[in-house]
A = this chain, B = another copy of it.
Amino acid sequence: MNPFRALQTTERTTLHRLRERGATDRSVLYDVLNAGLICHFGVVIDGSPVVLPTGYGRIGDLLYLHGSSGNRSLQFAEGQDVCVTVTLLDGLVCARSVFHNSMNYRSAVIFGAPRLVTDPDERLAALQAITEHLIPGRWENSRKPTKKELAATVVIALSLDEASVKIRGGGAKDEDEDYGLDYWAGVLPITQTIGEAEPDPLLPPGSAMPEHIALLEHRSVGDRALMPDSD
């Protein structure tokens, strides 16, 4: 996989507005996907869009989603066009005018027709990637899925070829004539952080907290992407 291979530009991924906020670098896409925790998965069911939050994992240029075999949105996704969006909100931008109030964010929008993953090895690798994406190190520190649990799980793969990334950073951008107005302008930064771990009350007394959990406490969610187990 060449991380510098450009993303495919199609009608769907072409930004029709504010093109300066767009990026077509594959490495920028992967940075957003690595930093994000969940995605919003959109699929058309009976003609109507359905948008649901869910976890995800990435291996190379494939994005994996999973769910219960009773999950309708995944059942309807195979071979159909879907849209997966990952958004990181970085700040509220206060401009002098209501019109130029904005947000700082990084967002990735991926289009494609997913493939149902049936190969047992790929299914297991995908579930590991989804698990590790949320909590690096968790796979090795949990009981692995049984055959019955695997049978109750659907895994789909989406190619990361048709995607767009949009990023807004920096401060307020006001109309020239508004800079003299007596309104405050600036940015309220937003951070998503992991707090202090709350051990399960049913753990044996004196259970030590494993390193992969201790490492995440009091860290920004995006720091996960810098940890040894993620790529």
Q: Which A residues are within 8 Å of any B CB, using their own CB?
A: 11-12, 16-17, 37-38, 40-53, 55, 68, 70-72, 81-85, 87, 89, 92, 94-99, 101, 103, 105, 107, 109, 111, 127, 131, 134-135, 138-139, 141-146, 149, 153, 171-172, 178-179, 181, 183-203, 207-210, 213, 216-217, 221
Q: In the complex, which residue of chain B has the Cβ closest to the Cβ of A38? A: B89
Which residues of chain B come closer than 8 Å to A53, judged between CB atoms? 40, 85, 87, 89, 105, 107
| A166 CB, min distance to chain B CBs, angstroms | 9
- Residue of A52, A84, A207 with highest tally of chain B CB at under 10 A: A52
Q: Identify A49's interface contact among B42, B146, B191, CB under 8 A.
A: B42
Which residues of chain B come closer than 8 Å to A141, judged between CB atoms? 183-184
- SS class, residues of chain A in contact with chain B: mixed
Contact yes or no, B188 A200, CB < 8 A: no
| A150 CB, min distance to chain B CBs, angstroms | 9
Further 19 A-B residue pairs, CB within 8 A, beyond A48-B83, A98-B138: A17-B68, A37-B190, A38-B87, A40-B87, A44-B49, A50-B109, A53-B87, A92-B134, A97-B149, A98-B144, A99-B145, A141-B184, A143-B183, A184-B208, A186-B199, A186-B203, A186-B213, A187-B198, A190-B193
| A49 CB, min distance to chain B CBs, angstroms | 4
CA distance A92 to B107 in the complex (A): 22
| A151 CB, min distance to chain B CBs, angstroms | 11
- Residue of A49, A70, A143, A207 with highest tally of chain B CB at under 10 A: A49
